[in-house]
Amino acid sequence: MNSDQDKYFSMNQPEHKQTRSKVRSSSWSIAIVVFLVIYLILQWQQDQSDQPLELVQNEESIFNTGESSGQKALPSLKEADPQSQIDNAKVPHQADLKQQQTESAASQTSSRLVASSPAKMKPTPANSNRPPPGSTSKPSASQSQPELGQLRDLGGKVWESTAGLKYGPGSREKHRLLHIMRHAEDQPQRPGKHGVFSGEGDRKKILAMIDEAYLQALKGGRRVETKQEGDRIVYTVNMGRSVGFIGGQVGNRQGKPSATKIRLVLEGTNVITAFPL
Amino acid sequence: MYYVGTCPFCEQGSLGIRICSKAGDVVLLCDECDALWLSTRLTEKPLFPREPDLPCPCCPGNLTESPSHWADLGEIYQRGWVAAVKGETA
């Protein structure tokens, strides 16, 4: 019996070994599959967590740069005359400027973040309210052009126009803006000529024409005549259209002829006077 | 304001006769562009006093603050500039 049993066991032993090796190999393959699955899950989770981290980092950087430089670079636009009505069209304009600034700051900071050390990054949940990059509506070329004739307060009673002309204290009227507005209406008794801007006395329209003439003067060309005397520079710009009429004693004698030129008298970017010619 | 002509620099303003705030110096001042002449010879190059206070080129006074003022006919006569006057603005 013992010998039979031995025989039996000795005959069955290879079969046991086969079964054990099969079990081992299958358990290994299961372990590898489980490991692979865990690895893939971890990889996927890491990819998911990396994306919002980058966005949040960008947002934090925007706010930081906004405090340090952005807000200084974009001072609030104000009206020169507090009594004048607030231009509603200016509000979206300011929003556009801020959006442009934020976008440029975002691109700058994100490029900076690439170089920064990853140790500084804090993982945060993916709860950013920023729209996906594709959905961001970029302002068109016409929207990005600021409206001419707008003024912003530089302090010290100095106002800067959209084109960069500065209006400060001076003249008999005590301020250049008031002096310019003398040319908003005719002075029939004034000796000689008195240029009168079209635009029905609307200061914004007048300043927009002056800005336009100044930009044309900076460009130069056949339509621009320039005369310089020390710090003073006189631009006479042919606007190619009527920008007002010639008033004063001479203009009234001639039947108020149309004016197609604007003369700018400047000291650097400081306006001394401007009038139609 | 008594004036002696149109400003040859800006070709728009009237050249008024201005008396400074300190020594009573008399100058020609453009009421449009603040160009300044020390005499009635307008062929000379103008001066451009510093804005906005327009200091007098002859004394420490200026041409903006009181008691600087547009000259009246008596003051113009005293300085011998009456012959240059073309008229008076309103």
- pLDDT tens string B13-56: 999 999 999 999 999 999 999 999 999 999 999 999 999 999 99
Longest dimension (CA), chain A: 148
Q: Read off the pLDDT band of A102 (50, 70, 90).
A: very low
Per DSSP, helices labelled H in A66-149 are 71-73, 90-115, 141-144
Q: What percent of chain A has pLDDT over 70?
A: 57
Q: Enumerate the residues of chain A whose CB falls inside 8 A of the CB of residue B46.
A: 229
Q: Is residue A237 within 8 Å of residue A179, measured between CB atoms?
A: no
> What is residue A17's predicted lDDT score, i.e. its pLDDT?
57
Model pTM? 0.62
pLDDT at A238 over 70: yes
Q: Read off the pLDDT band of A145 (50, 70, 90).
A: confident
Mean pLDDT to the nearest integer, A147-159: 95
Considering only residues A194 and A40, tell me which one the structure prediction assigns the higher pLDDT: A194
Interface test with A, best of B4, B9, B10 (most A CBs within 10 A): B10
Q: Read off the pLDDT band of A59 (50, 70, 90).
A: very low
The reply to whether residue A231 touches residue B10, judged by beta carbons under 8 angstroms, is no
pLDDT at A89 over 80: no
pLDDT at A143 over 70: no
Q: Is residue A238 within 8 Å of residue A209, measured between CB atoms?
A: no
Cβ-based neighbours of A65, under 8 Å, separated by 6 or more: A105, A108, A109
Interface test with A, best of B15, B34, B47 (most A CBs within 10 A): B34
Distance from CA of B75 to the nearest CA of A (A): 21
Considering only residues A4 and A276, tell me which one the structure prediction assigns the higher pLDDT: A276
Q: Which of A172, A230, A265 sits opposite B31 (nearest CB)?
A: A172
Q: Enumerate the residues of chain A whose CB falls inside 8 A of the CB of residue B29.
A: none
The reply to whether residue A272 touches residue B51, judged by beta carbons under 8 angstroms, is yes
* B residues 5..44 contacting A (CB < 8 A): 6, 9-14, 31-35
pLDDT at A274 over 60: yes
pLDDT at A27 over 90: no
C-alpha span between A135 and A22 (Å, rounded): 56
The reply to whether residue B12 touches residue A194, judged by beta carbons under 8 angstroms, is yes
How many other CB atoms are there within 10 angstroms of residue B3's CB atom?
24
C-alpha span between B44 and A87 (Å, rounded): 47
Q: Read off the pLDDT band of A14 (50, 70, 90).
A: low
Q: Does B1 touch chain A (CB under 8 A)?
A: no
Considering only residues B39 and A112, tell me which one the structure prediction assigns the higher pLDDT: B39
pLDDT at A257 over 60: yes
Q: Comparing C-alpha atoms, which of A84, A66, A76 is closest to residue A153?
A: A76
The ipTM assigned to this model is 0.94
Distance from CA of A114 to the nearest CA of B (A): 51
A249-256 long-range contacts (CB < 8 A, ≥24 apart) are A249/A188, A249/A189, A249/A190, A249/A191, A249/A192, A250/A192, A250/A193, A251/A186, A251/A193, A251/A194, A251/A196, A252/A186, A252/A188, A256/A186
* Mean of per-residue pLDDT scores for chain A: 72
Mean pLDDT to the nearest integer, A212-236: 96
C-alpha span between B63 and A60 (Å, rounded): 55
Chain B, nearest residue to A272 by Cα: B33
The reply to whether residue B87 touches residue A191, judged by beta carbons under 8 angstroms, is yes
The reply to whether residue B12 touches residue A192, judged by beta carbons under 8 angstroms, is yes
> What is residue A36's predicted lDDT score, i.e. its pLDDT?
87
Phi, psi dihedrals of residue B26, rounded to the nearest 5°: -110, 130
Q: Enumerate the residues of chain B whose CB falls inside 8 A of the CB of residue A245.
A: none
Considering only residues A70 and B47, tell me which one the structure prediction assigns the higher pLDDT: B47
Give DSSP secondary structure letters for A166-220.
Answer: EE-B-STTSBHHHHHHGGGS--TTSSS-EEEESSTT-HHHHHHHHHHHHHHHHH-
A106 to A65, A124, A193, B64, B77: CA distances (angstroms): 9, 18, 54, 50, 71
- Residue B72: exposed, middle, or buried by beta-carbon count in 10 A (0-12, 13-18, 19+)? middle
Q: What is the DSSP letter of B55?
A: B
Distance from CA of B80 to the nearest CA of A (A): 23
Q: Enumerate the residues of chain A whose CB falls inside 8 A of the CB of residue B51.
A: 168-170, 267, 270, 272
Cβ-based neighbours of A243, under 8 Å, separated by 6 or more: A197, A198, A209, A259, A260, A261, A262, A276
Mean pLDDT to the nearest integer, A87-114: 37
* Mean of per-residue pLDDT scores for chain B: 95
C-alpha span between A33 and A28 (Å, rounded): 9
Chain A, nearest residue to B87 by Cα: A191
> What is residue A4's predicted lDDT score, i.e. its pLDDT?
53
Q: Read off the pLDDT band of A26 (50, 70, 90).
A: confident
Q: Enumerate the residues of chain A whose CB falls inside 8 A of the CB of residue B50.
A: none
Encoded tokens for A30: 């299961």
Query: How far is the first Cα of chain B from the last one, in angstroms, to the nearest whole number?
Result: 7
Encoded tokens for B52: 């906005």
C-alpha span between A226 and A266 (Å, rounded): 11
> What is residue A87's predicted lDDT score, i.e. its pLDDT?
39
C-alpha span between B67 and B18 (Å, rounded): 11
| Interval A168-187: pLDDT, tens | 998 888 999 999 999 999 99
pLDDT at A188 over 60: yes
B8 to A94, A269, B30: CA distances (angstroms): 43, 22, 9
Distance from CA of A148 to the nearest CA of B (A): 24
Chain A, nearest residue to B68 by Cα: A172
